[in-house]
Chains A and B, each alone.
Chain A
């Protein structure tokens, strides 16, 4: 079966990858995923979770699969420009494929493995078998599509009790070189008993380039493991970014993720967290700042299965121009998940008459002994505060920038990695400064 027959010409240039050395299960998983996509097609606005995000602009582009060795104009300087140096190991992927010469693999504690997926596929692929199974169970078209096409990405394995002190930086840089391609990075994080690490994903591209990133990152946290995760989505303004962050947590594990959405014409970041061990805790934060014609979709599903788990969500959006933000957060508390403590907050600032926000905080609770709160707010800049600043001599545009930055600053301050926080602060403040350095803190 080819893509053409599978989905009727849409994305018809994309073919599942076949390599001679691939194990039989991988070929079977790719075909099964392709069959699933063929049968179900891509989601439309009739699907509850895609109500506000139309895929037509993406499906209209004749994407080709990005190959290893493409993007040959990429230089170390370009990577340094988009990805701040965090001092630890850094894996660089160009168009979804690992590039050793730009990467830095520092000495790691015994039992810690930081490598790329293609290397694992070549050496010991059976470890990856549990991860290539999205098509069957979870009904997620783009994850299935990633199953079909994924060849590379990061592979991080933390043996029991290990701690990686320096942040592990995964840099995904796209350089389409004029032909629109789709890259399908697949990253796997396996954190064994009591292990700890900080992992940063940076997605960036050459401004103006049209391409599509369809990324899947999976994290499996064993008992008492702790992962701090950051993601900076700063793709080209003409690019498309579809991502799934899939997290499974065992008892007393802690996972936190902080998301910054800046780039892309259409970007969707979906976080799915399964709290299946007693006392697991997850914290998901995000800021999204669509302007121009950008669409930033944040879809979240937190599944409380085990007892006494904790989940927090705080997402803040600033919509300018014809920017469109989506917050679609769903908390499920399953029968028997007693002692669940879940909260969800979404706050939005609308700067323009033409901007749009669709916010849908959802709680679905099937047990009694729970503490759950949720709320969404949408507002405009405080006119009284603007006047106050102006009467002190701060010009209108700078005053606006100051108030907008004040709205998102709380989120920026939550970034605990100093070099990353400084980079995000500059990116976010720069976006609202309107060319006036006065507005920069």
Chain B
């Protein structure tokens, strides 16, 4: 479904991604772990088309050249990012925003738009997934939401927009254990054969709830190791420092295609 080859990205002359290779198949959940500043969030930014990066390499999504597409075209193709820091948009109602987004996607896909009543019914059903009540929908997008509420709102958007490929960027950050469980349950309910997910996280904790098919370790803009879900446990015990040494010792990381 998604194939990233030799992806480089730099901003203001500083190279952040230095040759990332990654492949996700439909139905798979992959996790990317790594220390702060390793390039995890930059990878997410480049995949959704954030401006400001100089990018080389290729990203093919269901045969489409993702790097050549605008953020809205990527969304229409089925790409979604649950932001690490969802932006507050005063004056735009949450319900109106999500209906506009869904209808925009439906229109681009040649589907009939939902009227407000049909949308309300859909939203109410999906809100149960993340245990949100309707009061969130009448507020401005993310405005005054707590950290946990913002993350739940992201997962709600994912549940409503039904992307084929979702990136979850540090969705666990700032969540207490109860909120983490709610968010993880929402995500797990959205796992399906036709949908791939890339879970970016700093901690193994999230992966206890969202169990990945594969774990990749990113250090200094490259994926230095890949493995099964046990790799996350190993990392939690030994930290990332050991991996950096392994690389500098010249050992070819598992799963790297260099």
Which residues of A come within 8 Å of B, CB atoms? 382-385, 387-396, 398-399, 402-403, 405-407, 409-410, 438, 441
Contact = CB atoms under 8 A, between A and B. Distances in A.
Interface string B85-105: 011011110001110111111
Given A390-B70, A391-B81, A385 B89 contact: yes
B83 interface: yes
B104 A438 contact: yes
Contact of A382 (B75, B87, B101, B102): B87
Contacts of A389: 89, 97, 101
Contacts of B101: 389, 392-394
Nearest to A388: B87
A388 B100 contact: no
Contacts of A409: 91
A394 B72 contact: yes
Interface string B142-168: 000000000000000100010000000
B74 interface: yes
Contacts of B79: 391
B80 interface: yes
Contacts of A391: 48-49, 71-72, 74-75, 79-81
A321 B49 CA distance: 27
A37 B71 CA distance: 59
13 contacts: A382-B89, A389-B97, A390-B72, A391-B48, A391-B74, A391-B80, A392-B157, A393-B101, A394-B100, A396-B72, A398-B100, A402-B92, A406-B90
A390 B75 contact: yes
Contacts of B140: 406
A394 B86 CA distance: 16
B86 A395 contact: no
A393 B105 contact: yes
Contacts of B72: 390-391, 393-396, 399
B50 interface: yes
Interface string B101-130: 111110110000000000000000000000
Interface of B: 48-51, 70-72, 74-76, 79-81, 83, 86-87, 89-92, 96-98, 100-105, 107-108, 140, 157, 161
Contacts of A403: 89, 92
Given A382-B87, A391-B75, 15 more contacts: A383-B51, A389-B89, A389-B101, A390-B75, A391-B48, A392-B101, A392-B161, A393-B105, A393-B161, A394-B100, A395-B104, A396-B72, A402-B97, A403-B89, A406-B89
* Max count, chain B CB within 10 A of own CB: residue among A388, A393, A409: A393
Contacts of A390: 49, 70-72, 75
B152 to A, nearest CB: 16
Given A387-B50, A388-B83, A441-B96, A393 B89 contact: no
Nearest to B91: A406
A395 B87 CA distance: 17
B157 A393 contact: no
Nearest to A410: B91
Contacts of B49: 390-391
* Max count, chain A CB within 10 A of own CB: residue among B75, B102, B157: B75
Given A385-B87, A388-B83, A409-B91, A393 B76 contact: yes
A389 B83 CA distance: 12
A393 B75 contact: yes
Contacts of B89: 382, 385, 388-389, 403, 406
A388 B86 contact: yes
A410 B157 CA distance: 25
A409 B79 CA distance: 31
Contacts of B105: 392-393
B48 to A, nearest CB: 5
A394 B92 CA distance: 13
A436 to B, nearest CB: 10
A403 B97 CA distance: 11
Contacts of A382: 87, 89
Nearest to B77: A393
Contacts of A406: 89-92, 140
The 6 A-B pairs at the shortest CB distance, nearest first, are namely A406-B91, A392-B101, A393-B75, A390-B71, A393-B105, A393-B104
Contact of A438 (B74, B90, B103, B157): B103
Nearest to A408: B91
Contacts of A402: 92, 97, 100
B84 to A, nearest CB: 12
A402 to B, nearest CB: 6
A410 B13 CA distance: 42
Nearest to B96: A441
A382 B74 CA distance: 21
Contacts of A387: 48, 50-51, 71
A231 to B, nearest CB: 23
A37 B104 CA distance: 58
A176 B108 CA distance: 46
A399 B75 CA distance: 14
B7 to A, nearest CB: 19
Contacts of B81: 391
Contacts of B80: 391
A407 B89 CA distance: 10
A392 B70 contact: no
A58 to B, nearest CB: 35
A148 to B, nearest CB: 45
B14 to A, nearest CB: 20
B214 to A, nearest CB: 24
A383 B161 CA distance: 22
Contacts of A398: 100, 104
A268 to B, nearest CB: 28
Contacts of B103: 438
Contacts of B90: 406
A438 B100 contact: yes
A409 B93 CA distance: 11
Contacts of A392: 75, 97-98, 101, 104-105, 157, 161
A390 B79 CA distance: 11
A407 B104 contact: no
A438 B108 CA distance: 12
Contacts of B71: 387, 390-391
